[in-house]
Structure 1
Amino acid sequence: MEKDSKQISWLMIALIAFNITWSLGNVVNNFAQQGIVVITSWIVLLIIYFVPYTLMVGQLGSTFKDSEGGVSDWIKHTSTKQLAFFAAWTYWVVQIPYLAQKPQSILIALGWIIQGNGEFVGSLSMPVLVALCLFTFVLLLYISTKGLQALKFLGTLAGSTMLIMSVLFILLAAGVPFIKSDLQLATANMDQVSTYIPKFDFSYFTTIALLVFSVGGAEAISPYVNKVKNPAKGFPKGMIAMAIIIGACAIFGSFAMAMIFDSNHIPGDLMRNGAYQAFAVLGQHWGIGNFLVTIYGLTQFIGQASTLAICIDAPLQIFLGSADEDFIPSWLRKRTKSGMLINGYLLTGVLVGIIIILPLFGLKEIDGLVVWMTNLNAIVSPLCFLWVFLAYMFLYRHWDSFKNAEYKFVKRPLLGFLVGAWGFAFTAFACILGMAPQVDFATHPTEWWFSLATNIITPIALLALGLLLPWAAQREKKKQA
């Protein structure tokens, strides 16, 4: 009966993982940082990092198939409850910069929907922009307390449409040369191999964190491992298929960007407006005007708003839903009569609000804000991936207890430990170098120092805050004794 219940094919698991992991923004943001050489970066990253990462997730999910807590449960089973708490805290707290970025994305999309260009947000002063972002966040924070069924439906619809738009972008760009025989490509020498070779200097390595951030999140598919038909063969086959699909989207998407934007003179507003501008250019070539821009804007507006509201509630429920009173004080676990984690919402609001307000102390315009926030996410979010690799290393420290999993990526304990250590070291390397500011010191010294300070302090502060909760919980228990 168990065999019969495994109804997910390898292709289905590949598509589920693709939906979780990928978006058009990954193409735009990384092209904005690296230009056309990002194509080579994508190929290398997929081979040495992404495929092993997903297969490690598959083995951990198969080993702990009855665990519902994800990575924190993997750590608990292979190490200690204390480390499991810090893993759970990390997975929750890295959402803070992610949530803080959503309001600006919503406002950018709204401007393109209403005006058909990026001038609305670009014309705002930093105080006004911050105020609007705060208002948008507080509004969606309130909405998230009132039920999410409609938002979940809209978010699912927008997510599906976004995937279609990502593929459509590549197909339309690839078709332009066939309808425009005199088409002039924006980037020169795209037919020469040398155009795609990165310059492996310090500046290049500071951009790796954004690549790692773009392909992360595969651990979310771990509950599906044992539902795949013949998981020992089906799951790795699905992950390799997903890597090929993502690789194709990344490579051909980056190639399409290079057709539209000069890789040697990347516009300063590309992270903010690049996707919209690209669809505008494609619309002109295909004779459909701003139709694609409007559809993309609506998809972004609905998708970002619903994601913000849903991502406030869902991670809180996971983090505090089965909270251990030894590590989390009762005030944070408090629920209203309707079951809402009221103080969890307040803590989220305070932390996100601080991140939204921070740019007032060092940034002057929207494009600097978008670049800073994108790179801050690229530094903070991959910190949770470290726990995946740590769990994989711990798994092989206790190999005799866990070697009977239905799917095994690596069968030799020493090799398995080293593979996990490689993933951990590479991720840490990317996060640390990613702290280097992505602005020019000579022309923007204030922004450079602000970015450096916040890129270092923010992840340390967010992680350190988790150390206070066990202390508060123990102090509370002593008072009650």
Structure 2
Amino acid sequence: MIKGLHFKQEREKLDNLEKNRHYISWPVLALMAFVTVIGFDDIIYNFKNQGMGVITSWILMLFLYVIPYSLMVGQLGSIFNQEGGGLSSWIRGTNGEFLGYFTAWTYWAASIPYVVDTANSVVIGLGWAIEGSGKFQDTMSNGQFALWTLLVFVVFIMVQSRFKRSLELLSSIGGIAMFGMTVLFVIMALSSLGLGGHIATQPMNLSAIVPKFDLKYLTTVGLLIYAVNGCELIAPFVTKMKNPRREFPKSMLMLVIMTAFLTIFGSFALGIFFDAHHLPNDLKMNGSYYAFQALGQQYHVGNLFMYLFAWTEVVYLAALLSVLLDAMTRMLISDTGRRYMPQFLRKTNRAGLPINGYLLTCLLSGFILFLGIFLPEMNDVFNWLLNLNGIISPGVTCWIFYAFMRVRKNPKQYPSEYVFIKNNRLAWWIGLWALIITAIATVFGIAPQDVAEFSPIWWHELVINIGAIIVLIGLGAVLPVITKREEKYGVAFSKSQCFTMLLLTITTMILSVIVGSTKLVERNLIVVGIIVCGFVVVYLVGKRRPQ
């Protein structure tokens, strides 16, 4: 009798806790995913690549890629909810510790071009917000552009350590405001047709929205995937829903509907103001501002909409950059642990900040900027950095589908509250389909875009694409070796070795800049040779036992 009464009381407590527990509703989760997945700039970038044909590409992507991708993420997040639902924990749970570390590294490495691109966009946004035109960046050389970007890095690394929470809130508000501006643009652009506006893209018919499926098209698919990925960031919240099995698919359906509205109608709206057959060369860099300028002219309010967008963009990107610089570094240092990450990178200051991790982020960001300064114009630098995201980001997304395939191959070992497709064999094949599509997009994305095929600049961009990938991904394989040196010798490198390697690195960069600024036809090969020789010498110095 006493046991029965005690059980009844405990049951009532559990029921009360269940009633008071805070759940995330499916519309809220859909909005959270929406903010991470698509933005106005993503629509601009892909409109530049494919013109009006991108409408068909968006439809195909939504039904053949986004829906299965988001639902797979939901199941993985449900399975590994105790580990935070991060991508590296999914791989660690299915493939072991080292592959989990390497996934964390590649995810972090993929963020480097993204934060560099974000810093560039901050500089460009400030120019438009202050000058009201693209004059600011037009007067800068590539070197000045790189210096401004590095200055932005240093400033925001300092700022985020003091105002991190405020910046996280600011980036969330700015993100919602950015999507609000995007929806405003789409609605007002379509409404302008009823006020006597005309469509700039002619002829506007069915053939205009069908892309040409050729080699060039394949090179642009990676940027489409880059535009719609990021859904894995909401995976940890799947288990915070009251009924994930029933509510999560609703969230993803809402996400797809909202994404479809913005991408399809957004691309059509751009076709109202821009002739898709003759697009400005700098559309990727300045297209968002051009679009809101055109909208203001259509409604006879001058640059009002452009200024609203420019300041929204600056505030959002500045806050986002500060949070990213902190979050990505902390994630890498804390998630990989002591086994593979060198002690000097895990070292923190009195405030608990991984200062050497920040330094590594800045050095690799500087390396990416260094590769870009040999391109002819600043617009080329911006486009190249953006397209680099279209290579590395889809490559990292492959890990998601690989983890999902492993889970569905051993379903009893990985129970889940939410399951995407009950038939394990069918689910495995869908995972393989997504993996193959993403891998193909990654490989073809290495081919340069926005420049004439097989021209000197095309070959130059191909070389620096491959170089950037080797350094960013390859360094992840080097760090465990450095960790072993620390364990064996107490320190990885002596002070004299560190000084020598730093001096050699600086010398290599200076020589490359001098040669790269000349008019030599063979300068690209010479620069590559200098960099390779520099790496070899640094490697030989670092290989020696620390004294």
- Shared fold per TM-score greater than 0.5: yes
Conserved? CA contact 1:3–1:229, under 8 Å: no
Conserved? CA contact 2:104–2:336, under 8 Å: no
CA-to-aligned-CA distance 1:135-159 (integer Å, 9 cap, x gap): 2222222323334233223322221
**In the TM superposition, what is the alpha-carbon distance from 1:480 to its structure 2 partner?**
4.9
CA-to-aligned-CA distance 1:309-349 (integer Å, 9 cap, x gap): 11111111122124321111111110111101011011001
**In the TM superposition, what is the alpha-carbon distance from 1:260 to its structure 2 partner?**
0.5
Partner Cα distance (1:458, 1:226) in 2 = 37
**Given the alignment of the two structures, is residue 195 of structure 1 paired with residue 208 of structure 2, yes or no?**
yes
Aligned counterpart, 1:471 = 481
Aligned counterpart, 1:17 = 33
Which residue of 342, 360, 367 maps to 1:354?
A: 367
Partner Cα distance (2:392, 2:233) in 1 = 18
| AA partner of residue 389 (structure 1) | F
CA-to-aligned-CA distance 1:216-235 (integer Å, 9 cap, x gap): 01000111111223211110
**Given the alignment of the two structures, is residue 26 of structure 1 paired with residue 42 of structure 2, yes or no?**
yes
- Counterpart secondary structure, 2:83: coil
Which residue of 239, 243, 255 maps to 1:242?
A: 255
Conserved? CA contact 1:331–1:343, under 8 Å: yes
1:49-448 matched pairs, under 5 angstroms: 49-68=65-84, 70-180=86-196, 183-190=197-204, 192-361=205-374, 363-402=375-414, 404-441=415-452, 445-448=455-458
Conserved? CA contact 2:73–2:231, under 8 Å: yes
Conserved? CA contact 2:411–2:424, under 8 Å: yes
Aligned counterpart, 1:459 = 469
Give the CA RMSD over aligned residues: 1.7
Count of residues in correspondence between the two structures: 475
Partner Cα distance (2:351, 2:123) in 1 = 31
Aligned counterpart, 2:541 = none
**In the TM superposition, what is the alpha-carbon distance from 1:478 to its structure 2 partner?**
2.6
Partner Cα distance (1:105, 1:325) in 2 = 35
Structure with the larger RCO, 1 or 2 (CA within 8 Å, 6+ apart): 1
Conserved? CA contact 2:85–2:236, under 8 Å: no
Partner Cα distance (1:175, 1:441) in 2 = 37
Instruction: Note the residue ranges of structure 2 that are not aligned, 5 or more in a row.
Output: 1-14, 492-547
Conserved? CA contact 2:373–2:381, under 8 Å: no
Partner Cα distance (2:396, 2:22) in 1 = 29
Partner Cα distance (2:469, 2:123) in 1 = 26
CA spacing shift, 1:163–1:440, aligned 2, 3 Å: closer
- Counterpart secondary structure, 2:45: helix
Partner Cα distance (1:426, 1:219) in 2 = 18
| AA partner of residue 360 (structure 2) | L
Between 1:207-216 and 1:225-234, the stretch displaced more is 225-234
Conserved? CA contact 1:283–1:291, under 8 Å: yes
**In the TM superposition, what is the alpha-carbon distance from 1:34 to its structure 2 partner?**
0.5
Partner Cα distance (2:378, 2:483) in 1 = 41
Conserved? CA contact 1:62–1:222, under 8 Å: yes
